[in-house]
Amino acid sequence: MRTRSDLPELVTRSWLACRGEGELREKVAAHGEILTEYRGPAFILPTQTSFHPEVVPVTAATPLHPDLVARGWRHDEQAPYFGIIRDGTVVSVCYSSRLSAEAAAGGVETASDYRGQGLALEAVRAWGAAVQSTGRLAFYSTEWSNDASRGLAAKLTAFEFGEDWHLT
């Protein structure tokens, strides 16, 4: 379980002692209103050794597709951060949404007009190879309702090891 750093230790410990989802949800709600919730499978990526030649590291000089910018993507996402350029802009990206000394979790998105072409797969492969080259584990997670993202995990032959459950 991961919690915000500003939560008192006693609150965190009481949540860790919960015996089931219902009890945990009640304790979280007692601390503050639950505004959003999502759940989905969590995967670990197998070793990534090669990736598409169109994949590039995303830097401040790399133009991002307006569709990605409109959805909040920036040039300063946490590295490793890779994208695929088509028609002069990065149209698919993968970055480290969470990063520690032992592991990283990948966040990925593709501009609407470029979906279904396997670009996210290649961005994640490049990101995974970069993460693994540092000795870290590369994780990928999604929501149960996101069929495309779960399909991406299958194409990566990622191993499902658990479920992410976010209450915020």
- Nearest-angstrom CA–CA distance, 96 and 134: 13
pLDDT at 50 over 80: no
> Of 26-40, 61-75, 90-104, which gets the smallest average pLDDT?
26-40
CA nearest neighbour of 60 among 74, 42, 79: 74
What confidence score (pLDDT) does residue 54 get? 87
- Nearest-angstrom CA–CA distance, 13 and 5: 13
pLDDT at 49 over 90: no
DSSP state of 144: T
Sort 44 into a burial class: Cβ within 10 Å, 0-12 / 13-18 / 19+. Answer: middle
Average pLDDT, the chain: 92
What confidence score (pLDDT) does residue 146 get? 94
Containing H/E element for 12? helix 9-16
The one-letter amino acid code at 5 reads S
pTM for the model stands at: 0.86
Please report which confidence band the pLDDT of residue 56 belongs to, taking 50, 70 and 90 as the band edges.
very high
What confidence score (pLDDT) does residue 52 get? 83
pLDDT at 132 over 90: yes
Considering the chain, tell me which residue range(s) the CATH 3.40.630.30 domain(s) occupy. 41-167
Instruction: Report CA-CA distances (Å) from 59 to 31, 70, 96, 98, 130.
Output: 40, 18, 14, 18, 15
Under CATH, domain 41-167 is a member of which superfamily? Gcn5-related N-acetyltransferase (GNAT) (3.40.630.30)
Please report which confidence band the pLDDT of residue 32 belongs to, taking 50, 70 and 90 as the band edges.
confident
What confidence score (pLDDT) does residue 41 get? 97
What confidence score (pLDDT) does residue 12 get? 87
pLDDT at 115 over 80: yes
